Amino acid sequence: MTDAPPPSRRRALMLVNPNSRRGDTALDTVQERLSAGGVDVTVEHLGTPDQVPGQIVAMRHQADLVIVCGGDGTLNAAADGVVKTGLPMGILPMGTANDLARTLRIPENLDLAADIIIAGRQTRIDLGEVNGHPFFNVASMGLSVDLARGLTPEVKRRWGKLGYALAAFRVLRQAKRFRAEIISENGRVRARTLQIAVGNGVHYGGGTVIQADATIQDGRLDLYSLELRNVWKFGLMLGAFRRGQHGLWDEVRTDQGTDFEIRTSKPMDINTDGDIVTQTPARFTVHPGAVSVFVPE
């Protein structure tokens, strides 16, 4: 942790995603609060996800920190930019799930989240990577990809977190297992699975826990493979998944490490923090302490 007092005035690049669930929320009062706390804000609306790192790099000499206004997909898009510039990142949670904010205990109340940035307390967190694509929370294949396809912006805006449950019900009705080979420092295994998830943080999918003892500062990845024959048994396991205790079930394979490789019989799409970005074969790794973020006491 860094507890040194921040300079009297700091310059912030505020990136706003107008398409996030709370993207139409008025930020004027938040900007005024930041300014009163010594943070002068320059607002930029986000371009496409692949343009966001360039936006941050282009303004690196005009800012002392980056404030990202949006959900987990927006934070994911900003990851490469904050890594390349070394600028600390503040979070104003304005998405649907806000899982990274939940992991870091940043409240969804924007005034309180702004106060955390003003206080200036920083810590460094890990960043996951799959085939060159960053992720803060989780990268996964199988059920989660079908779920991501069903969670359209319209569904998120209308139903919020309930949209996850509605989309999950539709996905489970059509779920099919796929063949995969999982390679890690602990060896290699073959599996028939409904989903493989590799977590870097703690929360994903609107508050589900990737592993009971996981943190986003432990320098490791947490993997699970959901190897159910009867997909409806998943309903009995939901409580365990919410608590990160799914590994207690025989049908769930778990592993921990710094590197994983996953191969499938046919290319499978991979979802990182809510967006589909790459396919198998896939190589997963972790970059310990790659990003500095503002956190509460």
Residue 134 or 157, more confident? 134
pLDDT of 10-64, one tens digit each? 999 999 987 665 555 678 899 999 999 999 999 998 888 889 999 999 999 999 9
pTM for this entry: 0.87
pLDDT at 283: 98
Strand partners, 285: 129, 259
- Residue of 69, 157, 63, 65 whose CA lies nearest to 110: 69
Query: Looking at residues 163-172, what average pLDDT do you find?
Result: 59
Residue 85 or 6, more confident? 85
- Span of 172-176, 180-184, 202-206 with lowest mean pLDDT: 172-176
CA angle 186/192/195 to nearest 5° reads 85
- Span of 145-149, 188-192, 264-268 with lowest mean pLDDT: 145-149
Extended beta strands in the chain, E state: 10-16, 39-45, 65-70, 89-93, 122-130, 133-135, 138-142, 178-184, 187-193, 195-199, 203-204, 208-209, 221-226, 252-257, 259-264, 269-272, 275-279, 282-294
- 160, pLDDT greater than 70: no
Rounded to the nearest 10 degrees, how much is the dihedral formed by the CA atoms of 271, 272, 275, 281?
A: -40
- 111, pLDDT greater than 60: yes
Strand partners, 284: 130, 260
User: Which alpha helices (DSSP H) does 174-269 contain, by range?
Assistant: 234-243
- Span of 73-77, 122-126, 150-154 with lowest mean pLDDT: 150-154
Query: Looking at residues 204-224, what average pLDDT do you find?
Result: 94
pLDDT of 244-255, one tens digit each? 888 888 889 999
pLDDT at 256: 96
Query: Looking at residues 142-154, what average pLDDT do you find?
Result: 68
- 69, pLDDT greater than 70: yes
Q: Is 186 exposed, middle or buried (0-12, 13-18, 19+ CB in 10 A)?
A: exposed
- 233, pLDDT greater than 90: no
Kindly report the average pLDDT of the chain as a whole number: 88
